[in-house]
Amino acid sequence: MSLFELNKIAGALLAAALTAGVATTISNLVYPEPHVPEILLAVPASDEDPAPSADAPAEPESVPIAVRLAAADPAKGEREARKCLACHTFGAGEPHRVGPNLYGLVNRPMGAIEDFLYSLAMTDQSGTWTFDHLDAFLAGPRAYVPGTTMAFAGVRDPDSRAAIIAWLRLQADTPAPLPTP
């Protein structure tokens, strides 16, 4: 191999490194915070809660889901549920995706769709998807069902969760009655 060929290879490597550095700098200027789509964020379940600091404000007392559902806007819930479309379908008879079809979810037994392969953690769940269960699950799927394969960080805002649940409730042949506040 001649010296000229080695110079071309070294020049190509230096040009690639320079291009990567410039692209990184521009990216950091445009997106100062790391940009990761919410659907790809997974919050690992933790057995220990971090101790609150003395300076931290006390968490507000949570409002029960029945009260939040009474004030929830299903139209907002439909907009909020768009982030779920990557993995779920909502219409009657629609096929499953990575996650099961959610039509008729409210008051359906957990892990009950026979033609969907749930994770072992989900099949071990008993009970039905009540409003309270849905609220807790949507707040943090991996914390609520440790070992679930659902890679979604959850919906932190309680009012947004209530809106999603209010909309999910309407996605059924006969919507489940709202709980009394």
Per-residue pLDDT, averaged over 142-160, amounts to 92
Identify the CATH class of 65-170. Answer: mainly alpha
Q: How confident is the model at residue 180 (pLDDT cuts 50, 70, 90)?
A: confident
Per-residue 3-state assignment (H helix, E strand, C coil) for the chain: CCHHHHHHHHHHHHHHHHHHHHHHHHHHHHCCCCCCCHHHCCCCCCCCCCCCCCCCCCCCCCCCHHHHHHHCCHHHHHHHHHHHHHCCCCCCCCCCCCCCCCCCCCCCECCCCCCCCCCHHHHCCCCECCHHHHHHHHHCHHHHCCCCCCCCCCCCCHHHHHHHHHHHHHCCCCCCCCCCC
**Distance separating alpha carbons of residues 138 and 37, to the nearest angstrom:** 17
Domains of the chain by residue range: 3-35, 65-170
Is the pLDDT at 48 greater than 70, yes or no? no
% of residues, the chain, pLDDT over 70: 83
**pLDDT tens column, 97-132:** 999 999 999 999 999 898 999 999 999 998 999 999
Q: Where is pLDDT greater, at 24 or 54?
A: 24
Say what the pLDDT of residue 40 is. 46
**pLDDT tens column, 49-67:** 444 444 444 444 589 999 9
Say what the pLDDT of residue 26 is. 85
Say what the pLDDT of residue 58 is. 42
Q: Where is pLDDT greater, at 85 or 61?
A: 85
Which of 21-35, 99-113, 163-177 has the lowest average pLDDT?
21-35
